[in-house]
A and B are shown apart, each in its own frame.
Chain A
Amino acid sequence: MFRSRSPRATAALVLLLALLGVAPQMAGSAQEEVTLRIWDQFTGPESEVVDQIYEGFAEQNPDVTIERESFGTDEMRQTLNAALGSGTGPDVILYDPGPGYAGILVDAGLLRPLDDLADQFGWRDRIVESALLGTTIDGELYGLPLTTDIIGLYANQTLLAEEGLQMPETVEQLVAFCGQASEKGFIPIAFGDSEGWPAFHQFSMMSNQTIGPEAMRRLLYENEGSWDTSEIVTAIKTFFVDLQEAGCFNPDVNAISYDDANSLFYTGQALMTPTGSWLANDIQENMPDQEVSLVPFPQIAGSQGRVWPSGVGSAYFVSAQSAHQTEAGQLLDYLVSPETAQRWVGEARFFLPLQVDTAALEISPLSQSVLDVLESAAAGQTQLGYNVDVLAPPEFNDTMLNGFQTILAGDKTPEQQAADLQAAWEAGIQATPAP
């Protein structure tokens, strides 16, 4: 067939094939060069460490070149959905594991299940079970959890000692503490909810206590139970009504941003702030001379006990369309290898759902306390609760966001919010896949 063509036509065909990328394959390459495209959400100071970690993998695998792009959260969602949907997306993605994020990509068949890799590399022996559960969608593991958070109450122990204030263990004691702290001119608890999402974490702390972590797991993963119960009403009422009425928070909670509330804590105007372990590094940087502790929220009377809600912050996923599945799997395993884990913890200052040898690392007491909780959970000694919003469908999160702001403004009852949450849950799980 080739012989029958004129030399010019043959030359044109060869050129065309070369342009189409066929020629190199015809020539046959001994070692195929692979370019792994990674999209992640590291846009902060840790970005440089991430570059070095990826470079480390490329050094171990000389045939692999890594092309990295970083996105903000909203930017990532808009770009990734379109890119994967049109078949032009990256090979590996660091993304949020929630139903509204990775969930709908799984539903569209755009992400690759990782169960075989988990077995091959023994991830299940090394990674906290609840973290793996957090990236399991429709019964299959899709994400390799990287960052894990626990949520609790930070307290400025230096100021408490100076002012002779006792650390409250129960909500009753906390209410008394709020009165004493206010009298001394302090904001007892800094709380800003202008964005709406900070309330998600307060709700997680309260509801994990009132129904217990096991009931929360069944509710979130197996849709067993209801959000419209007296326990959930108590959870909502305790934080968003009772503590506000007891003067525990700064005024104008709905008008104060998360960052502004943190500033109140950093500057010593507030004695406590309820948020997640992701703030530990910022606290250490902003309050170098203060001793700060992170504790589980004081116990609500009649609850199941103090619980650390925990959730996967972000996880690595592999595109189902990636032509480099083997290399992507190797990269993922490298990212949670003991050596790399030390770099994540020591240099990027992340908290990983793994047992990490921190003996040689410089870790502050505050960070060490978080690592201890995670290590105890990895060893099966502590049962962590669940950070609700990362496992709930977008409809439910929207109802949390607006509903808690409305309660804080005094325009909604906890009973109505509990009923609305259940309605949103039912609507949400019909629209998006279960976690």
Chain B
Amino acid sequence: MAQTGFAPVADPARRATTGGLSGHWAKYRAGYLFVLPAFLLYAVFMIYPFAQSIYLSFTDWNGVEATKGFVGFANYRRLAGDDLLWSSLGHTLIWVAVGTIVPLVVGLALAMLLWRRPRGFTLFRTVFFMPQVLSSVVIAIVWGWIYNPIFGILNRGLDGIGLDALSRGWLGDPDVALFAVLAASSWAETGFVFVVFLAGLQNVSRDLLEAAMLDGANAWQRFRNVTVPQLANVVNVVTALLLIGGFSAFDIVFAMTGGGPANATELIATYTYKEAFTQNRIGYAATLSLVITVISLVASVVFIRLRERGES
């Protein structure tokens, strides 16, 4: 039974020999049935909520009223004049750029250091990966302590080495708060990037590296022209994941600063949350969430296209 069901799926070329919808159904029925559970889950938890978000973005619903007033494109028109949206978007772009580049560079550097399995390999691998195991809230709390102006180790350390002019209320200064939170987030993301690169490096051909060395390539040239091209796929995946994660970043900011002080760390996701659950503007929040979706989709597609062009 299972065999007869699978055969047509495994051989799509046979589709051409059978005509009509009923013939198609007869041949692929089992395949569709196997897909059905996953599709139902996807439909219930992805497609339906997404369609609902689009619908809500045309309403002024406050999350409570039984009726959802249709307001046409009013929420979309509001986007253009919403200063807080644009400043949140600016913070999000900084977040995505720094939050992608720093873990990528540091993660790759750490992976390169451990590539040749130096002494203490297991210990370092565990230590570097550790932050990834911690929940964002734990990271937020611990880094909050590090930055604390009363008992935080950062200001104490700066005072101790005579750099007390640099010590400040890191999470309370609108000029540095975003970068202070970014440092905590990058620290956490680096562990993941490091492990993926370490796995990717196992597939890098040592023969090619030796050949390059014999040809007189120096360490940087070997890294840039031999190692990195072989890691291209890993770089692609990691960058795409960091980009998408960056656009929807929420938890660590919410737990560390709540978007403050004075909106200085407000990202588009935290702003959306506040509009929905503090200001009771679900309709406008749905519009904002669609903005996040469009931006991360565009960023991912552009990035993948650029990589494909680079590879070809």
**Distance A85 CA – B277 CA, assembled complex (angstroms):** 15
The smallest beta-carbon distance between B247 and chain A, in angstroms, is 23
CB of B43, distance to nearest CB on chain A (Å): 21
Q: Could you tell me which residues of chain A, from 381 to 415, have a CB within 8 Å of some CB in chain B?
A: 394-395, 398, 401-403, 405-406, 408-409, 411-412
Chain A residue nearest in CB terms to B170: A255
CB distance from B68 to the nearest CB of A (A): 11
Q: Is A81 an interface residue (CB 8 A)?
A: yes
With A255-B149, A409-B261: A108-B64 Cβ-Cβ less than 8 Å: yes
B63: Cβ under 8 A from any A Cβ: yes
Quick check: which of B10-18, B171-179, B226-234 contacts chain A, the rest being far away? B171-179
Residue of A260, A264, A405 near B261 (CB, 8 A) is: A405
Measured between alpha carbons, how far is A408 from B173 in the docked complex, in Å? 10
Whether the Cβ atoms of A256 and B172 lie closer than 8 Å is: yes
Is B65 touching A394 in the complex (CB atoms < 8 A)?
no
Tell me the count of chain A residues lying within 8 A, CB to CB, of chain B.
40
Q: Which chain A residues lie closer than 8 Å to B200 at the CB level?
A: none
* Residue from B63, B64, B258, B279 whose CB has the most chain A CB atoms within 10 Å: B64
Q: Which range holds the interface residue count of chain B? A: 20 to 34
| Residue pair A255, B171 in contact (C-beta under 8 Å) | yes
Chain A residues with CB under 8 A of B129:
none
Minimal beta-carbon separation of A419 from chain B (angstroms): 15
- Is B260 a contact of A194 with CB atoms below 8 Å? yes
8 Å CB contact of B173 from A104, A255, A394 = A255
Residues of B contacting A402 in the complex (Cβ-Cβ under 8 angstroms): 260-263
Asked if B260 and A398 make an inter-chain contact with CB atoms under 8 angstroms apart, the answer reads no
Q: Which B residues touch A406, using CB under 8 A?
A: 174, 261-262
When chains A and B are docked, how far (Å) is the Cα of A288 from the Cα of B150?
23
Among the 9-residue stretches A122-130, A138-146, A167-175, A246-254, the one with 4 or more Cβ atoms under 8 Å from chain B is A246-254
Where chain A touches its partner, the secondary structure class is: helix
Choice from A108, A264, A403 contacting B150 with Cβ under 8 Å? A264
The answer for the CA separation of A289 and B171 in the assembled complex, in Å, is 34
> Within 8 Å CB of B147, what residues of A?
255
Instruction: Tell yes or no: A77 within 8 A of B by CB.
Output: yes
A84 in contact (CB, < 8 A): yes
Q: Which residues of A contact B263 (CB under 8 A)?
A: 402
Q: B66 on the interface (CB 8 Å rule)?
A: yes
- Closest Cβ of chain B to A266, distance in Å, is 12
A405 and B260 form a contact (CB under 8 A): yes
B125 to chain A, nearest CB (A): 35
In the complex, the answer to whether B64 meets A411 with C-beta atoms within 8 Å is no
A255-B147, A255-B173, A256-B149 are contacts. A77–B277 as well, Cβ < 8 Å?
yes
Q: Is A285 an interface residue (CB 8 A)?
A: no
A255-B172, A260-B148 known; A194 and B64 CB under 8 Å? Answer: no
For chain A, residues 238 to 290, give those with C-beta under 8 angstroms from any C-beta of chain B: 250-256, 260, 263-264
Does A69 interact with chain B (Cβ within 8 Å)? Answer: no
Contact A196 B63 (CB under 8 A): no
Q: How far is the CB of A351 from chain B (nearest CB, A)?
A: 27
In the assembled complex, the Cα of A218 lies from the Cα of B262 at a distance in Å of 29
| Contact in complex: A409, B174 (CB < 8 Å) | yes
Complex interface: chain B residues within 8 A of A213 (CB): none
- Given known pairs A108-B64, A406-B174, the reply for A411 and B169 (CB within 8 Å) is no
Least CB distance, B144 to chain A, in whole angstroms: 8
**Cβ-defined partner of B262 (8 Å) among A255, A256, A405:** A405
Residues in B138-191 with C-beta less than 8 Å from chain A: 147-150, 168-174
Q: How far is the CA of A195 from the CA of B260 in the complex (A)?
A: 8
Q: Is the CB of B278 within 8 A of A100?
A: yes
Are B172 and A84 in touch, CB under 8 angstroms?
no
For B280, give its contact among A104, A196, A264 (CB under 8 Å). A104
Q: Does A183 contact B (CB under 8 A)?
A: no
Check if A78 is an interface residue, CB within 8 A of chain B.
yes
Contacts of B174 on A, CB cut-off 8 Å? 254, 405-406, 409, 411
User: In the complex, A213 Cα to B274 Cα: how many Å?
Assistant: 31
CB <8 Å contact, A196 and B260: yes
Q: Which residues of A contact B257 (CB under 8 A)?
A: 194
- Contact A105:B150 (CB < 8 A) given known A194-B171, A411-B262: no
Q: Which residues of B contact A252 (CB under 8 A)?
A: 149, 168-169, 172-173
Q: Which residue of A lies closest to B148 (CB)?
A: A260
Chain A nearest Cβ from B118, distance in angstroms: 40
Closest chain A residue, CB of each to CB of B281: A431
Q: Residue B53 at the A interface, CB < 8 A?
A: no
State in angstroms the CA–CA spacing of A411 and B172 once bound together.
13
> What CA separation (Å) do A82 and B61 show in the bound complex?
12
Contact (Cβ within 8 A) B277 A104: no
Across-interface contacts of A412 in B (CB, < 8 A):
262
| Interface flag for A110 (CB, 8 Å) | yes
**Which of B66, B169, B258 meets A108, CB within 8 Å?**
B66
B88 beta carbon closer than 8 Å to chain A: no
Known: A78-B277, A398-B278. A254 touches B261 (CB 8 A): yes
Q: Does A46 contact B (CB under 8 A)?
A: no
- B62 near A: Cβ within 8 Å? yes
Q: Report B242-286 residues with CB < 8 Å from chain A CB.
A: 257-258, 260-263, 274, 277-280
Q: Judge whether A256 and B64 touch: CB under 8 Å.
A: no
| A196 (CB) vs chain B CBs: closest residue | B260
A432 to B279, CA, bound (A): 10
Q: Does A74 lie at the interface of the complex (its beta carbon under 8 Å from any beta carbon of B)?
A: yes
Shortest beta-carbon distance, B25 to chain A, in Å?
36
In the bound complex, CA of A100 to CA of B150 (Å):
34
Question: Given the complex, which residues of B lie within 8 Å of A193, measured CB to CB?
Answer: 261
Cβ distance B45 to chain A, nearest Cβ, rounded Å: 17
Residue of B62, B170, B261 contacting most chain A CB atoms (<10 Å): B261
B-chain residues with CB within 8 Å of residue A394 when the two chains form the complex: 278-280
**Assuming the A-B contacts A74-B277, A251-B149, are A82 and B63 also in contact, with contact meaning beta carbons closer than 8 angstroms in the complex?**
yes
Q: 21 A-B residue contacts at CB 8 Å?
A: A81-B63, A85-B64, A100-B278, A104-B65, A108-B65, A194-B172, A194-B257, A195-B258, A195-B260, A252-B173, A253-B172, A254-B169, A255-B168, A394-B279, A401-B260, A402-B262, A403-B262, A405-B260, A409-B172, A409-B261, A409-B262
- Inter-chain pairs besides A77-B277, A85-B64, A412-B262, 19 sampled, C-beta below 8 Å: A85-B63, A100-B280, A104-B280, A196-B261, A250-B150, A252-B168, A254-B169, A254-B261, A255-B147, A255-B149, A398-B274, A402-B260, A402-B261, A402-B262, A402-B263, A405-B174, A405-B261, A409-B261, A409-B262
Residues in chain B within 8 A of chain A (CB atoms): 62-66, 147-150, 168-174, 257-258, 260-263, 274, 277-280
The 4 closest A-B pairs by CB, nearest first: A255-B172, A255-B169, A252-B169, A254-B172
